[in-house]
Amino acid sequence: MGVTKEVLPKGPACLRLKQMPATASGGIILKVKPFLSRLGRLFQGLVLGIYAKEKDEDALQFTSAGDKFDQLVSGKLRELLTLSGPPLKAGKTRVFYGLHQDFPSVVVAGLGKKTSGIDELENWNEGKENIRAAIAAGCRQIQDLEITSVEVDPCGDAQAAAEGAVLGLYEFDELKQKKKTLVSAQLYGSDDDKAWEKGVVFAEGQNLARRLMETPANKMTPTRFAEVIEQELRRVSDSAEVHVRTKSWIEEQAMGAFLSVAKGSDEPPVFLEIHYRGSPNADDSPLVFVGKGITFDSGGISIKPSANMDLMRADMGGAATICSAIITAARLKLPLNLIGLAPLCENMPSGKANKPGDVVKAKNGKTIQVDNTDAEGRLILADALCYAHTFNPKVIINAATLTGAMDIALGSAATGVFTNSSWLWTKLFEASTETGDRMWRMPLFDHYTKQVVDCQLADLNNIGKYRSGGACTAAAFLKEFVTHSKWAHLDIAGVMTNKDEVPYLKKGMSGRPTRTLTEFLVRMSKDNSQ
């Protein structure tokens, strides 16, 4: 005789639908409809924050959202936390199951001290960094459980919480058959949707840069890079302009330094030029961003060691971050006029490549002796910086994974900034303190300029006379192509990758400092509107 049986979900919340049979033999009909109706709740997680105990406190100190949830479950969360072990340290998590039917899995993450704020020694807001790290850890815990949706405690700063969630969940797996569980994150227990959405946009901008930098060089060619940026910019802005300049245009512009690098590869060079016009005043001078776009750097004839050469797929990190920041600004509809310039090419050791000792001519007429073909980034930037001046910009900022010496100097702690403007440095520094993606000012002494202008065959040498101070002599070289009074060079070589230094970023290309550039633009837009 036929028997009707209802299948209810059993076991942990990570139970997959494909593990539940639709029918069974023996005349038994398994009704899965009730199960399907509960899928939204079954695959729903919750991440809550909890503060570290202060010396004079005995009770656990939840966030506002955590308190409300604990009341909802009649104090069970507080009870279980007390019984489950020592207090949670900042960035550490603990998972609880079955507390509430809407959230079968609840992750509690440590936020550190509630009083944490600006740390002048660390040059960041420790409270915001703690939120990003805690929420990222909690969301990853949900992802590991293969739960597809999570609601997130704002922890007093919805933007920082959103950044932690979106940055923490991202992982480049586009080329893998087996992919990580895709988790959607929403705000829990707060009406601060505006700040949450801002954080999502900031983080997605950095994730775009991460994707561009992580993609293998055979798939992220100069041509493909330009295509991706055009698609992304046109998707968010109807008024955007994109110019994909070909080799003939580059030749017309007399960009001999750029062309000298590009000629070593079979991949055609591209000079990408993007415009976002957000200012209500069409004649408002733009801010110009310039990014190094070497989509693969073998070193050329001065070839790099094979160990870790694969990382040089991200040598276009400067172009990736500046373009992503402009796209993010367009999504935010900032009232600014922005221009992004990215000379894109490969640096390869073919029979056509630059040879040590060759002399090339830049757009401004200066000649350059190329004594090291692996110092190619400064060559392509030289021409791009000359071109940047033609737009009568308010400021010029260039970003580049320029020197290994920068990594030696600062490691992954901060982007090195070389600038001729204390005003501009202050703006960048304040923005980096807010985002936690820090910057540190480096010297532009004439001491370094003397090392690149003392050249046997040409006006400049593309390397300094000595091995020491390599990041500084590279900056001094670029300064020879700048006449603007508000210029900054960001050497991002040290922050290109993340191993475990930034807890809310997984291992891989970091996309830094996209959020800091975006925050800088947000602050500039506020100044512009006053």
Q: Which residues are catalytic?
A: 304, 378
Q: Where are the alpha helices (DSSP H) in 218-316?
A: 222-236, 247-252, 256-262
Tokens found for residue 384:
């791009």
Tokens found for residue 86:
């020592």
Element (H, E) at 374: none
Q: How many CA atoms lie within 13 A of 475 on its CB side?
A: 30
Return d(Cα 44, Cα 276) in angstroms, integer: 39
Return d(Cα 372, Cα 158) in angstroms, integer: 48
Q: Quick one: residue 241, left, alpha or beta (phi over 0 = left, psi -120 to 50 = alpha)?
A: beta
List, as one string, the DSSP characters of 309-372.
GGGGGGTTHHHHHHHHHHHHHHHTT-S-EEEEEEEEEEE--STTS--TTEEEE-TTS-EEEES-
What residue ranges in 101-168 does DSSP mark as E strands?
103-110, 118-119, 124-125, 149-152
Q: Chain centroid to CA 420: how far? A: 26
Work out the number of other CB atoms within 10 angstroms of the CB of residue 146. 15
Report whether 167 contacts 203 (CB < 8 A): yes
Tokens found for residue 500:
């475990």
Return d(Cα 50, Cα 112) in angstroms, integer: 8
Tokens found for residue 247:
């080799």
Work out the number of other CB atoms within 10 angstroms of the CB of residue 390. 10
Return d(Cα 61, Cα 12) in angstroms, integer: 28
Q: Chain centroid to CA 275: how far? A: 21
